[in-house]
Amino acid sequence: MTSLAQENERTDPGGVRWQAGERYSRQILFPGIGGEGQQKLATARVAVVGCGATGSALSSLLARAGVGTLCLVDRDYVEPSNLQRQSLFDEADASESLPKAIAAARKIAAFNSQIVVAPKVDDLVPSNIENLLEGVDLILDGTDNFETRYLINDYAVDRAVPWIYCAAVGSYAVTLNVLPAQTACLACIFPDSPRGMVETCETAGILNSAVNLAASIAATEALKLLVGKSSALRRTLLSFDLWTNEHAEISAAKPDPGCRACARRDFIHLAGEGRPHITLCGRNSVQIHERQRPIDFAEMERRLQPHGVVRRNDFVLKFWHDRYEMTLFRDGRAIIKGTTDTAVARSLYARYVGG
């Protein structure tokens, strides 16, 4: 990690002096942060789970603010329909189907090369959560589903790591700070996935401004927490509809004494029963991650070429066959587009990739 002192030494070939004091000068002037706060940000480690819409905005804000280490976890690849709201990606990323975590890390490196960004192309599941999130000071929610949020909540409550729930759908933004043992957790407020909020951006559409609102509020709460201004943290579930201008806050100041997660410490999502298939966010696609061994893309390309169109880069191999589009990742995980039938997806996978 580059320390602020080391940064003071750097001059690039164009003669620009990269001084931390200069880069962050306007933020240091803000009394809530100051020089001491900026130093704390430089040594902070934050995980952003999901690098789609809210995840892009969150990681962009925190990277520009000088958070020293960002761990970006995302299972997906960039597509043209992402560009309306996923601010870290461009047309080249979509035409290459770059994994979002990789594309995000590259984009961040272009505007702040003085922080560490660790991209992980992976689906956050009970078996890898320890490995992916170990050692972070804060977890930020850039996901699009309650299954992963409950998993994050269980992990965060169990390990006493703060996390921030952050979501946007339609014109609606919602966010909650979870400070384990101090405030309500996600399961205190929503013991089960809330009805009416299970709509996704695929079914309800989404305004990019709702994404940025949710991410701006959550990123600011993250800064307060990282610089140690916990008295300034909001202790409510905040929701805001940008179209109707309706907004509401529900108190989250105290944990629910009957809560499954934070009171009874029954971490059912962390224990996680086998989840071999996951149907993605209404997107007419199925994810398969049964095979836990790496794929040789060159060999796979030779094998698949007689059966359809194959394209690959360093990170993904895409295969078009019939009306299906299969995207294979190096670790053997696949996203099959063109069906929501897990049996169809499984059989395509077994036939062309192998068991």
Phi, psi of 41 (to 5 degrees): -60, -40
Single out the residue of 187, 206, 215, 217 in contact with Zn ion (rule: CB under 5 A). 187
Chain position carrying tokens 């979002």: 100
> By CB under 5 A, is residue 185 in contact with Zn ion?
yes
66 or 180: CB nearest Zn ion: 180
Nearer to Zn ion, 173 or 188 (CB): 188
Both tokens assigned to 279: 């149907």
Considering CB under 5 A, how many residues would be counted as binding Zn ion?
Answer: 6
Distance in Å, CB of 188 to Zn ion, minimum: 3
Which CA distances in Å does 54 have to 163, 195, 214, 290, 348?
14, 21, 7, 28, 32
d(CA 141, CA 51): 9
Rounded Cα distance, 145 and 122, in Å: 15
Would you say 12 or 192 has its CB closer to Zn ion? Answer: 192
Strand partners, 29: none
Nearer Cβ to Zn ion (104/187): 187
Phi, psi (degrees; rounded to nearest 5) at 253: -70, -25
Total residue length of the chain: 355
Nearer to Zn ion, 155 or 352 (CB): 155
CB 149 to Zn ion: min, Å = 13
Query: What is the pattern of x (binds Zn ion, CB under 5 A) and - over residues 136-175?
Result: ----------------------------------------
Among 259, 280, 295, 316, binds Zn ion (CB under 5 A): 259
Torsion angle in degrees (nearest 10) through CA of 84, 86, 90, 94:
-90
Q: To the nearest whole angstrom, how small is the minimum distance from the Cβ of residue 186 to Zn ion? A: 7
Q: DSSP 3-state assignment of 235?
A: coil
Only segment of 46-54, 105-113, 262-270, 306-314 that touches Zn ion (CB under 5 A) = 262-270
Max alpha carbon distance in the chain (Å)?
64
Determine if 188 is a binding residue for Zn ion (CB under 5 A).
yes
Residues 6+ apart with CB under 8 A from 53: 82, 85, 86, 142, 144, 168, 201, 206, 208, 211
CB of 184 to Zn ion, least distance (A): 6
Continuous segment of H or E residues that includes residue 70: strand 69-74
Closer to Zn ion by CB, 237 or 259: give it: 259
Binding string, 197-226, against Zn ion, x = CB under 5 A? ------------------------------
* Distance (Å, whole) CA 30 – CA 122: 37
Measured from the CB atom, is 42 or 187 closer to Zn ion?
A: 187
Least Å distance, CB 243 to Zn ion, is: 31
Q: Which residues are near Zn ion by CB under 5 A? A: 185, 187-188, 259, 261-262
